[in-house]
Structure 1
Amino acid sequence: MNNVIRFPAPDDLDDPVSLGDLPTAAIYTVAQAATLLGISSGLAYELVRAGEIPAKRLGRRWIVPRDRFHSWLNDLPKGA
């Protein structure tokens, strides 16, 4: 039985990794920004092209810097 796979016992495992241990992405995609705003991707792309949502062109892709997005969102007037 050379092809037997031995799974580690719970005591053999290192500390478990949680999602909180993973680094936070520095950027959002336009689709992710749209989801956060509760709007369609199409509308989000329109707002990005119009300069309303802070974004940068990276080759053929648009990226939304996370810090700038949250600053922009926090600076929006109430009810906007």
Structure 2
Amino acid sequence: MHHLISTSRHAPAESTSDERRAVYTVIEAAHLLSLSRGSAYALVRNGTIPAIRMGNRWVIPKRRFHSWLDGTPESEAN
């Protein structure tokens, strides 16, 4: 009996450097910010990280994310 394992459905998101994508997932943003997944979701839900709710998922527009990050005072970034 052959067991086939499909990884395509459960594969991690493509690299965040893919310029064709207009958004990050919350998990990708968490990774970029060195935050836990839970902390990133909390910041998205309370509006700290700019995000858009699309159905049951959150997406973070790349341009707004980087503008927000660039505008964060250094005292808050540490």
TM-score, normalised via structure 1 length: 0.70
Structure exhibiting the larger radius of gyration computed from Cα positions: 1
1:28 maps to 2:51: no
Partner Cα separation in structure 2 for residue 72 and residue 45 of structure 1: 16
- State the identity %: 53
Structure 1 residues 76 and 58: alpha-carbon distance in aligned structure 2, compared to 1, 3 A threshold: same
Gaps of 5+ in 1: 1-21
Gaps of 5+ in 2: 1-17
Q: CA RMSD in A?
A: 1.1
Q: How many residues align?
A: 59
Q: Residue 56 of structure 1: which of 52, 55, 78 is its match? A: 52
Task: Find runs of 4+ consecutive structure 1 residues off by over 3 angstroms.
Answer: none
